[in-house]
């Protein structure tokens, strides 16, 4: 009898909306949305989180909901996951842009691999930056911060009540601009080295016409770029960590609406 009482219309709607929230957030959040993770694993994790948070969910006015209202509430839950995930993925996008610029100046723009996240070809340097960012994310427990946001969203945002507000679009528009600026800042040391190397090689070719830029210049340029990249990689990941944690301030603003 107690099991039969659990499957009421109210509980079924709460379970369905909670599953939409967990699935929507995990579908867009970095690390959890990686294409290398099987869909069955993502679905199982979402279902597990639903069972964990279901006993603490409180929702009013369920009896008056229609089928159309439930559909709109499910779309609102996916909207929450999309906006929150986009704010965090902009940081990874900046690393991808930096990797493209570094690959261009190093002459590795043709060395591309399949990006499992976007299913498109991207430079190998961008893939390396992304992999290092994921390792950094795991090192400072960023994946646990994401799970903490999932937990706090249950207490602060009622199921199906999320609605995009003006400050969200303003933050995302500025975030896209900041993504390009951050990407340039990360790649600037290697870009500056490349410009300096081009100036030096140009002066050498003027003073020594027998200097073969294609045979000698490019290997030296690649070697110097790799050395600088190894030296600044830790600082790059430090910038990533700082920006990723700063993005959580926007997620806190979402919980305050």
Q: For residue range 202-215, what is the model confidence (pLDDT) as tens digits?
A: 787 777 777 676 67
Return d(Cα 164, Cα 84) in angstroms, integer.
Answer: 11
Closest among 197, 177, 199 to 189, alpha carbons compared: 197
List helix spans (H) across the chain. 2-6, 9-28, 39-53, 67-106, 124-139, 142-156, 166-207, 218-255
Q: For residues 25 and 85, is the Cβ–Cβ distance under 8 A? A: yes
Q: Cβ-count burial of 36 within 10 angstroms (0-12 exposed, 13-18 middle, 19+ buried)?
A: exposed
In this prediction, residue 230 carries a pLDDT of 85
Judged against a pLDDT cut of 80, whether residue 247 lies above it is answered with yes
Instruction: Name the residue with higher pLDDT: 3 or 143.
Output: 143
Q: For the stretch 74-86, what's the b/e string if a residue is b when 16 or more beta carbons lie within 10 angstroms of its beta carbon?
A: bebbbebbebbbb
Q: Provide the phi-psi class of 61: left if phi over 0, else alpha when psi is between -120 and 50, else beta.
A: left
pLDDT in tens, 146-197: 888 888 888 887 887 787 788 888 888 888 888 888 888 888 888 888 888 8
* Length of the chain, in residues: 257
Q: Is the pTM of this model over 0.85?
A: no
Judged against a pLDDT cut of 70, whether residue 6 lies above it is answered with no
For the chain, the domain total comes to 1
Question: With bands split at pLDDT 50, 70 and 90, how would you rate the model's confidence at 63?
Answer: low
Query: Residue 69 is part of which domain span?
Result: 2-255
């Amino acid at each position: 009898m107690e099991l039969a009482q659990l499957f009421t219309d109210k509980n079924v709607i709460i379970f369905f909306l909670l599953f939409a929230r967990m699935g929507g957030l995990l579908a867009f959040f970095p690390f959890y949305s990686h294409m290398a993770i099987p869909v069955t694993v993502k679905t199982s994790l979402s279902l597990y989180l639903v069972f964990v948070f279901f006993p603490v969910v409180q929702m009013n006015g369920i009896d008056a909901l229609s089928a159309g209202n439930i559909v709109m509430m499910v779309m609102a839950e996916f909207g929450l996951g999309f906006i929150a995930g986009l704010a965090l993925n902009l940081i990874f996008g900046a690393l991808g842009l930096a990797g493209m610029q570094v690959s261009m100046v190093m002459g590795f723009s043709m060395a591309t691999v399949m990006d499992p996240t976007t299913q498109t070809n991207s430079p190998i340097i961008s893939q390396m930056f992304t992999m290092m960012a994921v390792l950094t994310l795991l090192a400072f427990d960023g994946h646990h911060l994401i799970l903490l946001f999932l937990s706090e969203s249950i207490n602060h945002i009622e199921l199906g009540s999320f609605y995009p507000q003006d400050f969200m679009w303003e933050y995302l528009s500025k975030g896209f601009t900041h993504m390009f600026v951050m990407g340039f800042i990360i790649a600037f040391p290697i870009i500056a080295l490349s410009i300096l190397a081009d100036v030096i090689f140009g002066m050498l070719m003027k003073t020594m016409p027998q200097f073969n830029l294609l045979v000698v210049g490019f290997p030296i340029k690649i070697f110097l770029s790799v050395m600088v990249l190894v030296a600044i990689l830790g600082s790059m990941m430090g910038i990533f960590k700082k920006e990723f944690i700063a993005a959580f301030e926007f997620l806190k603003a979402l919980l305050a609406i």
